[in-house]
Structure 1
Amino acid sequence: MCGILGQINRQAPVSREVFTAMRDSLNHRGPDSAGSEYFQEDRVALGHLRLSIIDLSEDGRQPMTNEDGTVWLVFNGEIYNFKTLRNELEGLGHTFRSQTDSEVLIHGYEAWGLDVLQKIEGMYALALWDDNQKELILARDRVGIKPLFYYYNGQQIYFASELKGIVTDPQVPRKVDWESVADYLMYRFVPQPRTIYQGIRKLPPGHYLRFSFAQGDPITAPYWELKPGIDQPDNTEAIRTANSMLQASVQEQLVADVPLGVFLSGGYDSSALVMHMASTGADINSFAIGFENWGSSEHKFAKSVAETFGTSHQEWVLQDEMTGLAKELAYYYDEPLGGSSFLPTYLLSRQARKHVKVALSGDGGDEVFAGYRWHHRLHKAYFPPKVGLMGKLRGRTNPPPPTDFAKAYHTNTSWTKWRYSDLPKAFGGGHLNAYLDKDDAWVYRRFLPNEPLSPIKSAQLLDYHTMLPEVFLTKVDRASMANSLEVRVPFLNTPLMEYTMQLSDEVYYKPGVTKHLLREQLKGKVPKDILDKPKKGFSAPKRLFLTPEHIQEVLKDGFLVKEGLLSSPYLTQLLTDWDDQKLWALYILEHWFNTWQPTE
């Protein structure tokens, strides 16, 4: 896991001083070593910050090149099938100088061109400079586990693992994209390809970008698509196949030359990871976080799983307030991100990093096995339980099913319950007036296929395109990398995702049952109370971070109100009504403006 960046200027040399400052702004992503290379009379620059995980020697330093210096690489992530690809490439005559997974990308590109993206399995953001073709290639993994941003102004292109790696250059304008502000308030994230800054873009998951030094604009294109199907194997076969795929993914992701552990919450997903880790005979370091006097804290369940599988378990139970943490994290997150689970994720990462350099996480389990609460709500909306005889006698009827799935999904996942038409009431200066009539569900509508899908399949598809990369994976990447910790996500293994998405949802989704295929894998292996407890999200008690006194102190005399961006009467009403979700969204936005001081 690392930080990468680059810059190409067609008209003038790149400033080495500025580029070094850009690179060093990402030092938390790779504190073990830093490197830069310059080409084309300093008009092309590549930079890298290394968090050494595989082959800790100097042979793993980046930027990395092939034998004759015609292909250069900077890479963030892990390629889990690198040993298989290395054997194949050696059979084709390629010579390797390191034991790293990174080097297979260089020789894979030489052998297969962009088709190397079809062969690799892992999490990654990468950049290749082809000195023969004078071309830059960027690529991001299939579901967006690793981030990649870029900025193009007609003559220069920049890219980086985080926005700060780009905006550290004073030539790059920090101009607020007000449409992105509106989108954040609606959805709790800024939907790709936009960012909070005008002109800076996210490379979408499963896409590559090509940029010619000679002429032309950047060209982006997808290289992977997750396609739903209706296969119906019998229950036993489906359980066995899913179990085998997850086990193989876990085993593949245990490869590291540094200490490794697992985040353990006591839920299905992390318990399954521990179960499969234990089956390999590996020594397991597990880490959990909990909260005093909070009924939703799951640290006791985590301890139960740890005892079952004999892990070396570390547990942190918190009782102190976290009111200052969101301000600290505004620097690492670069743009506003709603929700509160990034707070305990950051704290857990900080504690785990004292013991390991790599941790496995259960993120992706709900997407793969349809385990979110909104999946159940949407299924129930389309297939409500039958009204019994007594209900009919009392005149009870079920409401008609929704006619607009994108809108139904938005309603069931909405965080603040704002509508675009509400936003001008909150914000002064007319910044958000242009978005009054924007479709409240546009971000979801664009990912729904023309052919009809079941509610569960439709919801999973939207999860993969929106909530997963924009919220959950962003949360984990920034929280962990702020602590120089690599986090791997075995559930987001390509064969496993493709397998379950090709199944009829009747195979793996059972109304009233949480993640049927995964539950069946865990039966008899984990304590029964793990299987029987209701699903809970990973969060923290609001009393520790969302106190009325603190929220009022930050917002009432804050930047947004003083600059006339936030309506003071509107804020007063929110505080009176204590609309905590809307207030938290504004609180996060306040800290972002204060930290990054963008121009309007």
Structure 2
Amino acid sequence: MCGIAGIIHFDGKPVDVKALETMSNLVVHRGPDDMGFLLFDSKGQNKPLFSSYPFESNIKKYNGGFSHRRLAIIDLEDSGRQPMTNEDQSIWVTYNGEIYNYLELKEELLSFGHKFHSKSDTEVILHGYEQWRCDLFSHLNGMWAMAIWDDKKKELILSRDRFGIKPLYYFFDDHLLIFASEIKQILPFIIKKITINESLLFRYLTIGAMEEEDETFFNEIKQVKASHFILFKKDSSKKTTSFYQLNFNSDIGVFNNNYTDIKNRLKDLLTDSIKLRLRSDVPVGTCLSGGIDSSSIVLIASKLLPYQYKNQGRQKSFTAAYINEPDIDETIFAKKVIKKAGTDGHFIYPLSEKFWEEIDELLLFHDTPTHTPSIYPQWKVMEKVKQEGIKVVLDGQGADELLSGYLGYIPIFFAQLIKDKKWSYFFHELLTHVEIYSLFNTFNLLMVTMRNLIRKEHLPRWKLTKSYIKKDFLKNFNEFPTLIKRSNKNLQQRLYQDFFLLSLKSLLKYEDINSMRFSVEARLPFMDYRLVEFIFSLPANFKYRNGKTKWILRKAMRGIVPDKIINRIDKKGFEYPEKKWFYDKKEIIKEIIQQGKDEIKIYIKTEDLLLHLESLLKQPVGSSFIWRIINLILWEKRLKNFYN
């Protein structure tokens, strides 16, 4: 895991080597173990530099360069340094991530006659590119954001993993390309060129939408899309290509009990995914919430770790916990897993006072506005991981979108049953839901189902927020925010959208920033593409059945995960005590808004917002809107500081 960056002038202008150094220094947190640089030009001259060398300020003849910050995980020796090259220095790579099947690929490449000089996964990328060119990416099982410089062709390739686990941003204009792991690395060099993406800002403020496709909050800065690579040629042309397509089964499925082979296959794939993600030359820890996803990972890893890494010692697990908050605290479940797995369990207690003290730093590292304060509990967990000397953690990200883990997916399943006229199946699930939950809960579920059938998903948020948006800002956009049309009547299609295009995209971004802020690599076993493809090939009723979300995972983990967790019907993500953090801190919030009037005056009716602040903070939709306002204020202030 690392931080990468690069600058290329395709018109032959000299690259500012001090700019590369600045880009590297802005992400020391992503790679504190080493730093490396590469300078290259159109004549085939290359100059690698590492941290042991002083930077030569008078270098003028190179028109391109890479910078690299290293977090050493696999092959801790100097042989694993980046940027890395092949034998004849015709191919160079700087990359962030891990290729989990690098050992298998190495054996395959050796059979083709390639020779290796390190034990790193980076060298596998180099020889893989020599062998397969851009077909390389289809061979990789892992997470990555990489830049490959083909010195013979004078071409650059930017590539991002199948699901966008690792970030990769770029600016391309007038023969100048700048790319980086974080937006903050690009901003200083184009600050007077950038404009805010007001279309995204409008969707963000009104309904909490985040980035879609390749967009960011800046019009001029894009992100490489997941499962794509971009080829930049020496004539400044650019071509974007997809190397992976995820398919899904849109059927509801037949209601029967023939699932033994399927649950066993899921268990085997998850176990192998965890086994691959335990490959490391440093100890591996685990994030543990107390839900079935993280519990499965911790318990399977506890059986595998002694055979994976001889110096591992006792597995350390990390759990966010809340005193006197029974509605969101999962300590009781986490302790059951810790006892069964025999882990060294660490509990972290995020506090509202600390949250408001650290909010500037938190949002500074996130670069652009965020949609939930729940990023803070994860931030504190990763801070503790670092304090315990752990560089790698396994986490359960992606399982909810794969397996219909959120309760909000239930009305989509119900709407699909109604639309497809599966009446006996519908009434079976309806009555089961009444038995498990309550008549009142089921009535509310039906109301949401009806709203889904007439496509009014975002209406409550829109009704509340639009009254506080300035008319001059509103009139620039459609009456109702336009989005990728989320499916509200087909569960599998909605899961595909959330997993590949929408909500998970933001969660992966937050996970990357929160973990890398503390020089920790987060690995996600549920996002192994083999497991993802298998789960999406199953019909919807393997995700939700008999009133239970993640139905097939519950069946697969029976006997591994404690029954008390298998049988849970509640769902908690990275929650936070909303009342304590927001309503009880309304004076702090009021002060932030009052001091930030100038930053939001062209977007928000500030006086109306302050007048109704207390009532807004009493409701989830309102407090979420206030969080977005706070993000906007602090973000705009940071941009002013950058500009000045």
Report the TM-score, using the length of structure 1 for normalisation.
0.91
Aligned counterpart, 2:343:
311
> Match of 2:323?
292
Say which of 544, 547, 563 aligns to 1:528.
563
1:575 matched to which residue of 2? 613
Contact 2:416-2:491 at 8 Å conserved across structures: no
Shift of 1:319: 4.2
Report the residue type matching 2:369 in the other structure: P
> More deviation in 200-209 or 175-184?
175-184
1:131 equivalenced with 2:151 (yes/no): yes
| Pairwise CA distance, 1:427 | 4.2
Q: Name the structure 1 match of 2:92.
A: 72
- What is the DSSP-based 3-state SS (H/G/I as helix, E as strand, rest coil) of the residue aligned with 1:113? helix
Distance 2:576 2:474 in 1: 32
Of the three residues 283, 296, 301, the one matched with 1:277 is 301
- TM-score with structure 2 setting the length: 0.85
The CA distance in 2 between the partners of 1:435 and 1:59, in whole Å, is: 54
Q: Is residue 158–residue 229 contact of structure 2 (8 Å, CA) maintained in 1?
A: yes
Rounded to whole Å, the distance in 2 between the matches of 1:212 and 1:571 is 50
Runs of 5+ consecutive residues of structure 1 not aligned to the other structure: 392-396
Q: In structure 2, what residue type is equivalent to 1:589?
A: L
1:447-502 alpha-carbon deviations (Å, 9 max, x no partner): x7xxxx97210111111133444321111111111111100000000011001111
Q: Which residue of 1 aligns with 2:311?
A: none
Letter in structure 2 aligned against 1:434: N
1:476 equivalent in alignment to 2:511:
yes
The 5 Å alignment of 1:63-462 reads: 63-170=83-190, 173-185=193-205, 186-216=207-237, 218-229=238-249, 234-282=258-306, 283-295=314-326, 296-319=328-351, 321=353, 322-355=355-388, 356-383=390-417, 385-386=426-427, 407=455, 410-411=457-458, 417-418=461-462, 423=466, 425-428=467-470, 430-437=472-479, 440-444=481-485, 455-462=490-497
Alignment of structure 1 residues 527-566 onto 2, 5 Å: 527-533=562-568, 534-546=570-582, 547-560=585-598, 563-566=601-604
Amino acid at match of 2:279: V
Matched, 1:586 2:629: yes
Matches of 1:406 and 1:22, distance apart in 2: 49
Distance 1:374 1:505 in 2: 15
Cα distance in 2 for residues equivalent to 1:436 and 1:346: 36
Residue type at the aligned position of 1:556:
Q
In structure 2, distance between residues paired with 1:93 and 1:530: 50
Provide the rounded CA distance (Å) in 2 between the counterparts of 1:47 and 1:373.
44
SS state at 2:21 partner: helix
Greater shift in the superposed pair: 230-239 or 471-480: 230-239
C-alpha displacement at 1:107, in angstroms? 0.5
1:260·1:358 contact (CA, 8 Å) conserved in 2?
yes
Shift in Å at residue 331 of structure 1? 1.4
Is contact 1:292-1:318 (8 Å) kept?
no
Q: For residues 153 and 175 of structure 2, what CA distance do their matches in structure 1 show?
A: 18
* Distance of 2:555 and 2:626 partners within structure 1: 41
CA drift at 1:400: 11
Distance in 2 of aligned mates of 1:399 and 1:26: 47
Partners of 1:571 and 1:187 in 2: CA distance: 17
Asked if residue 489 in structure 1 is aligned to residue 524 in structure 2, the reply is yes
2:336 counterpart letter in structure 1: S
1:406 and 1:182, CA in 2 relative to 1: closer, same or farther beyond 3 A?
A: farther
Match of 2:16 in 1: 15
Report the residue type matching 2:592 in the other structure. Answer: V
Counterpart of 1:13 in 2: which secondary structure? coil
Letter in 2 for 1:551: I
Q: How far is the alpha carbon of 1:13 from its aligned partner?
A: 0.8
Secondary structure at the aligned position of 1:418 is classed as helix
- Contact kept? 2:492, 2:536, Cα under 8 Å: yes
Which residue number in structure 1 is paired with residue 553 of structure 2? Answer: 518
Cα offset, 1:574, TM superposition: 3.7
Give the C-alpha shift of residue 234 in structure 1: 3.3
CA spacing shift, 1:511–1:208, aligned 2, 3 Å: farther
Distance 2:637 2:411 in 1: 38
Counterpart amino acid of residue 45 in structure 1? G
Query: Secondary structure, in 3 states, of the residue corresponding to 1:270?
Result: helix
Instruction: Tell me, yes or no, if structure 1 residue 51 matches structure 2 residue 71.
Output: yes
> Which residue type is aligned with residue 300 of structure 1?
I
Cα distance, 1:432–1:32 mapped onto 2, change above 3 Å: farther
Amino acid corresponding to residue 462 of structure 1 in structure 2 = Q
The amino acid that maps onto 1:256 is S
- Residue 8 of structure 1 aligns with an amino acid whose one-letter code is I
Distance 1:287 1:350, change over 3 A: same
Distance, in Å, in 2 between the alignment partners of 1:520 and 1:591 is 46
Q: Which amino acid aligns with 1:484?
A: S
SS in 2 for 1:277: helix
For residues 166 and 150 of structure 1, what CA distance do their matches in structure 2 show?
8
Aligned-partner Cα distance in 1 for 2:30–2:299: 30
Shift of 1:565: 4.0
The residue type paired with residue 443 of structure 1 is I
Q: Deviations over 1:270-320 (max 9, x none)?
A: 000012112225342111121111111112311221111111111123445
Structure 2 CA distance for partners of 1:570 and 1:219, relative to 1, 3 Å: farther
Q: In 2, distance between residues paired with 1:498 and 1:405?
A: 28
Q: Which amino acid aligns with 2:494?
A: A
Q: Which residue of 2 aligns with 1:2?
A: 2
Higher alpha-carbon deviation: 320-329 or 256-265: 320-329
User: Does the C-alpha gap of structure 1 residues 485 and 444 become closer, same or farther in structure 2, counting only changes over 3 Å?
Assistant: farther
Q: Give secondary structure in 2 for the equivalent of 1:280.
A: helix
Query: For 2:448 and 2:361, how far apart are their aligned partners in 1?
Result: 47
Match of 2:536 among 486, 489, 501: 501
CA displacement at 1:239 relative to structure 2: 0.2
1:172 and 1:38 map into 2 onto residues whose CA distance is 26
Structure 2 gap segments, 5+ residues each: 42-60, 307-313, 419-425, 432-438, 440-444, 617-621
SS at structure 1 position matched to 2:278: coil
CA distance in 1 between partners of 2:489 and 2:447 (Å): 18
Whether contact under 8 Å (1:291, 1:317) holds in the other structure is: yes
User: Are the structure 2 counterparts of residues 479 and 544 from structure 1 closer, same or farther at C-alpha, using a change threshold of 3 Å?
Assistant: farther
2:436 aligned partner: none
d(CA) in 2 for partners of 1:304 and 1:401? Answer: 36
- CA offsets 1:137-181 (integer angstroms, 9 cap, x no match): 011111111011111112111111110111122566342221221
Is contact 2:452-2:489 (8 Å) kept?
Answer: no
Native 8 Å contact 2:415 2:449 kept in 1: yes
Q: Tell me the alpha carbon deviations over residues 525-553 of structure 1, each in whole angstroms, 9 at most, x when there is no partner.
A: 33332223311121211244322111111
Q: What amino acid sits opposite 2:273 in the alignment?
A: S
Per-residue deviation at 1:182? 1.1
